A and B are shown apart, each in its own frame.
Chain A
């Protein structure tokens, strides 16, 4: 086993464990913390692919900003541990087979493409900060700016909704 493979397996296991724990935990804070573990493990995977900028931004935006708001709201509302209800019949009988089917489908698709699937190099040239900013602010500047308008609209919408209650 090579070094990168070991690191990949550790990070992948961490991400999967965090995701499973996210569903199984009963307390919202524990779920939120599990989600942070997933985010940080994913950032590690990006780093392994040489996408340093994306990895750092993943932690800053998802691990930091977004999840802090989750944790903050849960703490502020003082949400208690959730109560387990009986699962719906549909979820019990159709859920597991469907999940297995989707996982099988994805696995089959990956297996079929086989050799065509290339792994990202250790120093992904496309993902360096400079190339990324060139792409975003030169080539795709209009879609990029339009997306930022979309985000702005969403923020304004949130403010309007919050103001209506007063």
Chain B
């Protein structure tokens, strides 16, 4: 048995990692919808989901059951092959793009096979992500075209036009980061931002570096994030699904799990974009504090223990019995986790990287939702003007300025 494992570890370990990652990502997607509804509800002075489970925590489960059991009608005169394949393409590409994201600095060995936190560590990971982004237009365009519905077609066309336009700005905005790091690999880009005692100043957004070859990428980040929101079709660039004009855009004719696949794909690409923004501009897993401040390593415990205690304290007064069991249960698990982190330094060191990485990703996801609750939608001509006449020139200017500065520092 162990011989078999050693021989085929190169195959088994990645498959196991893929299964775990997909399960985690699908769960996070589900709870992202819950978070989005809750946050927007509170922005609009409502309660949001509250009925299914304590604080509506089981709402994603109810939504999932509803999606599975809904009727899935096939509209008349659709292009069958395209209609069926479009949601699969969209979801497959969205999930594939997570494969090249490194989630933590560790490398470990399983059955004599050296591996790391993340699925594939390829040295062109950024290009792979752009290749996947380039292909993901087809899912949306095909869905719109195959549905044989004028609103779907318009949604699909708008979406393709938008994605093509903003892809340029997206690609150009990261060139500055590539110039500084001199590497296409996401792991390499993060390691280049790890400048020991410089801490937060070493991140690409501030651009200080030990060797002096760094330049603030705040313009690049601005372009990247705006273009990325447009690529993921989120507010304020969610014109493909502007319901007042286009019903639901390219997925008007989709119901049941096929609709859910578009939905999951949208949330997964939100996660990918947040991971990418974290990696490229905010130092990935690098802590914002100088490396010599070892006391900050207890920050996860400091956050987890009070949060767990509050959850226990708040949960025992919840109005339903189920809530009185579930909330204190989750709270005590979190508090115990925090205590365990404080007691076992090796365990604590191991989660430092993932803690900062996931924390930053969560901040970006929250920002996405915050914007959805705050901003109105662009008009279509404004969207195109903004992309071509503002974002693209600014991204090019960033490339020119960054390379000029780096040249000046080198000679």
Contact = CB atoms under 8 A, between A and B. Distances in A.
Given A52-B123, A75-B141, A63 B157 contact: no
A68 interface: yes
Nearest to B145: A75
Interface stretch (B36-44, B126-134, B317-325, B403-411): B126-134
B128 A56 contact: yes
Contacts of B123: 52, 129
A52 B124 contact: yes
A29 B138 CA distance: 11
B153 to A, nearest CB: 7
Contacts of B400: none
A72 B162 CA distance: 12
A76 B157 contact: yes
A132 B123 CA distance: 14
A26 B67 CA distance: 35
Most buried by A among B79, B128, B133: B128
A75 B131 contact: no
Contacts of B164: 65, 68-69, 72
Contact of B145 (A29, A53, A63): A29
Interface in B311-350: none
B198 interface: no
Given A68-B160, A72-B164, A63 B134 contact: yes
Interface in B154-209: 156-157, 160-161, 164, 167, 184
Interface string A49-66: 000110011011001110
Interface in A33-59: 33, 36, 40, 43, 52-53, 56-57, 59
Nearest to A129: B184
A75 B142 CA distance: 9
Q: Chain A contact residues (Cβ within 8 angstroms of B): what range?
A: 20 to 34
B134 A60 contact: yes
A75 B153 contact: yes
B97 to A, nearest CB: 12
A71 B157 contact: no
Contact of A57 (B127, B137, B138, B142): B127
Provide the main secondary structure of the chain A interface.
helix
Interface string B378-397: 00000000000000000000
A43 B134 CA distance: 14
Contacts of A53: 124, 127
A69 B123 CA distance: 29
Interface in B90-130: 122-124, 127-128, 130
A30 B138 CA distance: 12
Most buried by B among A53, A68, A72, A129: A68
Contacts of B144: 75
Contacts of A65: 134, 164
B81 interface: yes
A75 B140 CA distance: 12
B127 A75 contact: no
Contacts of B128: 56
B160 A56 contact: no
Nearest to A59: B131
A163 to B, nearest CB: 17
Given A52-B123, A52-B124, A56-B124, A71 B131 contact: no
B82 interface: yes
A138 B39 CA distance: 54
Interface string A66-91: 00110110011000000000000000
Most buried by A among B81, B131, B141: B131
Nearest to B163: A68
Given A56-B127, A76-B157, A71 B141 contact: yes
Interface of A: 27, 29-30, 33, 36, 40, 43, 52-53, 56-57, 59-60, 63-65, 68-69, 71-72, 75-76, 129
11 contacts: A29-B82, A33-B138, A40-B135, A52-B122, A56-B130, A59-B135, A68-B138, A72-B141, A72-B160, A75-B156, A129-B124
Interface of B: 79, 81-82, 122-124, 127-128, 130-131, 133-135, 137-138, 141-142, 144-145, 153, 156-157, 160-161, 164, 167, 184
* List of 3 A-B pairs having minimum Cβ-Cβ separation, nearest first: A64-B134, A56-B127, A59-B131
Given A75-B145, A76-B157, 14 more contacts: A36-B135, A36-B138, A52-B123, A52-B124, A56-B127, A56-B131, A59-B135, A64-B134, A64-B135, A64-B137, A65-B164, A71-B138, A72-B157, A129-B123
